[in-house]
Amino acid sequence: MKVLIVDDEELIRNVIKEYSKAEGYIVDEACDGEEAIQKCEENDYDIIIMDIMMPKMDGFKSIKEIKIMKDIPVIMLSARNEEIDKLNGFSIGIDDYITKPFSPKELMARIKAVTKRNKNDDIVTIDRLTINKNTREVNIEGKNIELTHTQFELLYLFLTNINIVLSRENIIYSLWGYDYEADDRTIDAHIKLLRSKLGKYRDNIKTIRKVGYKFEYKE
């Protein structure tokens, strides 16, 4: 897998590069948005890690230009935790958003999750739990489980983000988009109903206090 790291801070690029190479990824770098566009014109990448605030051209403008040329998954980095930045990022097609300072290990996990989703893995199997995006079927230990549309989408979101904490905000955006108005109780209710249908896997959905949820699974 080939990764393009775009950040004007060399230290951050080096940290991401070190962890990426440890995962076996091929790494390329750019120090601003303009260079990132040039790199994408000349090369193909499996994913881009893009900072927002950079000289010459910021991450938002760069992503817009790149998306016109190629549909490459993007994880955006930002030193700001402003909702408007997240909204702007998702509206132009980013796949994930991470606030600085960040855990390099978490970033690697998110890279795997994003690239897995973008490979159109329509059938996902965890132990004896299988979800089929094409047929809309969920099978647990050989038995089909009936889920509502929202429950199905929620389970698919969890199974394509194994061991990654999903905030309630992430869940709302992924399922309904940011225009949808839902409070914490709405998400909690959907989670409760989903758990009730998962049998022995109900406890794999962990509540992360004051943050959200994750589907925890250890092989």
Residue 97 has pLDDT above 60, yes or no: yes
How far apart CA 163 and CA 179 sit, in angstroms, is 27
- Break the chain into its structural domains and give their ranges: 2-118, 123-215
> Has residue 120 got a pLDDT over 60?
no
pLDDT number for residue 118: 61
| Amino acid 9: pLDDT | 93
Mean of the pLDDT values across residues 74-84? 83
| Range in 20-34, 41-55, 102-116 with the lowest mean pLDDT | 102-116
Q: State the pLDDT confidence band at 49, using cuts at 50, 70 and 90.
A: very high
| pTM for the full predicted model | 0.60
Tell which CATH architecture fits domain 123-215: Orthogonal Bundle (1.10)
Taking residues 9-32, what's their average pLDDT?
A: 95
Residue 92, amino acid: I
Nearest to 160 by CA among 174, 150, 143: 174
- Residue appearing with tokens 């790149």: 66
2-118 to CATH, choices 3.40.50.720, 3.30.1330.10, 1.10.3720.10, 3.40.50.2300:
3.40.50.2300
Token duo for residue 110: 């998110």
